Structure 1
């Protein structure tokens, strides 16, 4: 054991303020229950009626601890080691009515990490109704643990919830079962639990309170003596006799205390001490005993690690959480972030209850990659008392600073969010904040698909800030990934804990399960702290089904509106109606439609020069013919114009290509070329009658400037109607982001307008719609819907089919041609 030489090194540690207690919590905070086969409770429900005692063949018993906090009743249970985990927990009134039931064992849902390690049952009855809180206060509430399957109850045990003041000081517990070689008939259905506290300041003392039943004969009705014993292995260290004034068949309470030797205190801390209680008149046949373990309450101890600005220029922060196992081991997990390359000189557990801040345990040897994880298997008795009373802290020292960051370990009940495997460190995003700003968050999703969170903050400066807690959900970390922002809560202060009533949507659950999330603390929409949440466990019953695509695409049920319109392709997300060139093949272009990417590969037109003269430009699909006007490399480096742009894609001088139109892909019936003289795209229609059209004249049109066309009827207020003169001049329209109209320079297309192009050989080409967006014109082919196809079939039948009026091929409309309407006919009698 060491002592810090300078008592001023360890400064006062910031304690996260806890919420004030309401009246119910002040008067009804700590309760306990002994669950055995001797409960007076009689269940009214036939299918859950208390099973006959003989069905509890292994004589299973349990004990519970209950803490009332912020209108929530937290429960903790330990049960016989012979028993598997119970199926469910019920809260029942004295008339046998089930008031609330909790599933403890669900198919496909693993038990929480803490519960699995400690073999405890942990949870909380959230927002306990006031009428039931009154029953609890009046000690008229029972608890029942149920074993068996969903359709078959194997056996149950129950007990009355009673208030005991000694629970506030409990450090150790014991589940006391019939001792070996006792009379099975006399001890049938009996059991006990011990509540144990310590005082180590002067003379090491132990205080024992025992709740029990089953140790009295028929004629023992008043002032009955019982013996209380303590054993270290087989050595007896205490034997005292106390009187029970009025013995009860259901519950009895006795207490005693004694001074222990130092070696016995060490044995107690290391799980080698056992407690027993027996009948004074028949001690061999009527005796209960149990091993003393750390207290039955489900509890962890967490700390936020930070310091003041002058001692922490790099903004080093961290977190820690500790808990005790049933074997008496102290498990610890410490994260230190942004420590740079410096190795900590010491990570120590310190006693804050003493003026000299005594160092109790050195945790440094297990520090690696920013983490110190380990177990203290020989815990000193002087650690346990301040540990359970919340008087310990963690200190991180370096060669330059004897106390770089530090924090106080605060007890927290394990339930919901804090049943997660580990908390997440919230790191500073806004560097105008003090370097001491830090936070931690616990997150879980329960079987009802509700998210639970618990957030603690420190070092923000003011406790009256109005903050927002949000969760950004992405399917994966990729450019352009769609984000769902979930606002969890607005709060004031340094702590928020909640379990929203509404469940998450299927898409949100899917992203929590397989994607990435970012939890953020905001003030006035500015991010203060944030953390990454990756692949949070989601119960099987809450997970959405997936397709076999390379990225999980959710298949929503009828309750969801529709899936996201974004497409995922080659490691990047694209929005609905976006088009792009494949990163692997410059000849392949894709577009996003209804959440699915559709791609097409272009077959290049034949260039107008011999193959040995053709030039292939890196990043372009089709080769180009060299021309006298082609720029040199030095001119290219000077950023002089040397390419044509079509739909945002660059084409070198002299290169030929087919235009890419949505939704059909590359239009092989149109051939475009980048004019080497004026850097304009000029296109001609292929007059092949069999593959393209019957009445196409081979005429050029310039798509780089504009198609000569009139506007469509407006979809937006800023679009011009046909034959309506613009209210702005042509220069004003162009300066506002409009597009040039080569056919009529005095009527440019306004920014945001949509129109059909005009082709000399076809007139208005209604199969393509163009849009002007900030001076750039983009065009795409219209979709072939049922109405368009039926119009084509009718025109073809009447031999009045006109290419300009028909946007669809027979292949496109094949799915509509043979579809028949199905009518329901009534059977004839």
Structure 2
């Protein structure tokens, strides 16, 4: 009896709707987990003919790269299954590898699309792998983040001072014609406890990593994480922050309850023309805001969230009535509330303001006449608390 051939016709999705195949390599996900503060970021594009284009960048490692491979999940830790060697394409000075894998077998394509492949980075100090990450697809988010470009790496080694962390991450960031910032962040290698209290901020300073008093006006909370990802749109960005994005003197910093001043960080350079001639756009955005906050209009919006007897617009942030030590956000009819992370204070005496979540240092100047501050003071070393918003 002859076997019948079954043909499967799979329609090709437009590029912007296709899943973004990517990987974040971290030391926490290595076969022998560690905390090096390094990161690897990979982005792939699968063509209709089975060719796989790849772009990989690596930064913050403890020693030089000696191996870069795509692998299967090992059955035993001591026995790795290497499918493809990317090391010949790796350029040490730039820390990048760019090329194509043209001989993918059908089963390997299936494994790729089923998130069953991994990318491993071996170094002179860690021959089996200092960094490792699962290759997986991200579904279309509806944002204008430039997924066709290699993302911005986020590493503990980029924090000031550097942090030896098990985590790593990357981010896509863009500014549209209305000067709205679109972002998408993926983090890997964190412990489960840290995953619950992760937050990201966008910073802009005269020099990257310089934490001074001027930082207060150029820091924006992006959003709390839902799992290992964060995404959204910022519409009311200051001209100063847009200028830092244009100059490449801005950075994204992800903080956790363990490292409240930054777990991983990456420099962001997004050329834009928003510094001049954007007043009309700002006025339009403010005019649109009148409708967004109108209770009757909010009820009609399918993405509105209803929480504590109030409607909240998609993308909005607020402090819930039930606990001022949480920050809530509305993400397409879903309310996500993250706990506020208070900074570690080094002063000898602190007070707890009644209307604030976090304690503050008690000033030594005439403590008897001291009034409850209206906002949190900056940390004595100059860095703002990561999540305590007022």
Q: TM-score, normalised by structure 1?
A: 0.28
1:504 CA displacement: 2.8
Give the structure 1 partner of residue 69 of structure 2: 348
Indicate conservation of the 8 Å contact 2:27/2:35, yes or no: no
Shift of 1:210: 7.7
Q: Secondary structure at the match of 2:83?
A: strand
Matched, 1:489 2:223: yes
Corresponding residue SS for 1:544: coil
Instruction: Note closer, same or farther for the CA distance 1:357–1:509 as it changes in structure 2 (3 Å cut).
Output: same
The answer to whether residue 153 in structure 2 is matched with residue 425 in structure 1 is: yes
- Counterpart CA distance in 1 for 2:135 and 2:81 is 15
1:537 maps to: 271
TM-superposed deviation, 1:380: 2.8
Look up the match of 2:204.
473
Instruction: Report the CA distance between 1:410 and its aligned residue.
Output: 1.1
CA shift for structure 1 position 490: 3.0
Corresponding residue number in structure 2 for 1:364:
87
1:50 matched residue in structure 2: none
Q: Following TM superposition, by how much is the alpha carbon of 1:396 offset from its aligned partner in structure 2, in angstroms?
A: 1.8
Matched, 1:384 2:109: yes
Residues 466-497 of structure 1, C-alpha deviations (whole Å, 9 max, x = no match): 23311112366698795411222234642212
Whole-angstrom CA distance in 2 between matches of 1:454 and 1:463: 19
2:60 corresponds in structure 1 to 338
* Partner deviation per Cα, 1:206-225 (whole Å, 9 max, x = no partner): 642489xxxxxxxxxxxxxx
Match of 2:119 among 370, 394, 399: 394
RMSD: 3.8
The 5 Å alignment of 1:60-209 reads 207-209=7-9
Cα contact 2:200–2:253 (8 A) shared by 1:
yes
How many equivalent residue pairs? 264
**Tell me, what secondary structure is at the counterpart of 1:397?**
strand
Question: Structure 2 CA distance, aligned partners of 1:337 and 1:445?
Answer: 25
Select the residue among 215, 226, 232 that pairs with 1:498: 232
Deviations 1:376-418 (A, max 9, x none): 2333333211111211110122455223221101101355224
**Unpaired runs of at least 5, structure 2:** 284-364, 366-390
How many Å apart are 1:339 and its aligned residue?
2.7
CA distance in 1, matches of 2:14, 2:208: 43
Equivalent residues in 2 for 1:233-382, closer than 5 Å:
297-308=17-28, 312=34, 314-344=36-66, 346-352=67-73, 358-369=81-92, 370-382=95-107
Closer/same/farther in 2, CA of residues 544 and 316 from structure 1, 3 Å limit: closer
CA gap 1:433/1:513 in 2 versus in 1, 3 angstroms = closer
Is residue 196 of structure 2 the alignment partner of residue 444 of structure 1? no
How far residue 560 of structure 1 moved from its aligned partner, in angstroms, is 8.0
SS in 1 for 2:155: strand
TM-score by length of 2: 0.57
Q: Is the 8 A contact 2:163 2:264 kept in 1?
A: no
TM superposition shift of 1:511: 2.9
What is the rounded CA distance, in whole Å, between the counterparts of 2:182 and 2:86 in structure 1?
A: 31
Within 5 Å, give how 1:310-709 maps onto structure 2.
312=34, 314-344=36-66, 346-352=67-73, 358-369=81-92, 370-399=95-124, 400-414=126-140, 415-419=143-147, 421-428=149-156, 429=159, 435-461=165-191, 462-474=193-205, 482-483=214-215, 484-491=218-225, 493-500=227-234, 502-523=235-256, 525-534=260-269, 536-538=270-272, 543-545=274-276, 557=279
Note closer, same or farther for the CA distance 1:481–1:384 as it changes in structure 2 (3 Å cut).
Answer: same
Alignment of 1:773-812 (within 5 A): none
What is the CA–CA distance in structure 2 between the aligned matches of 1:544 and 1:434, rounded to whole Å?
37
Equivalent-residue separation in structure 1 for 2:55 and 2:9 (angstroms): 33
Q: Unpaired segments of 5 or more residues in structure 1?
A: 1-202, 212-292, 546-554, 562-735, 737-829
The verdict on how the C-alpha distance between 1:364 and 1:506 changes in structure 2, with shifts beyond 3 A counting, is same
| Kept after mapping to 1: 8 A contact 2:37/2:168 | no
**Does structure 1 retain, via aligned residues, the 8 Å contact 2:208–2:250?**
no
Q: Per-residue deviation at 1:425?
A: 1.3
Any idea what the Cα deviations from partners look like across 1:555-604, whole Å, max 9, x if unmatched?
7748989xxxxxxxxxxxxxxxxxxxxxxxxxxxxxxxxxxxxxxxxxxx
Structure 1 counterpart SS, 2:27: coil
Q: Is the 8 A contact 2:203 2:252 kept in 1?
A: yes
What CA distance in whole angstroms lies between the structure 2 residues aligned with 1:464 and 1:482? 30
Change (3 A) 1:311 1:560: closer
Tell me: CA distance 1:533–1:420, structure 2 relative to 1, closer, same or farther (3 Å).
farther
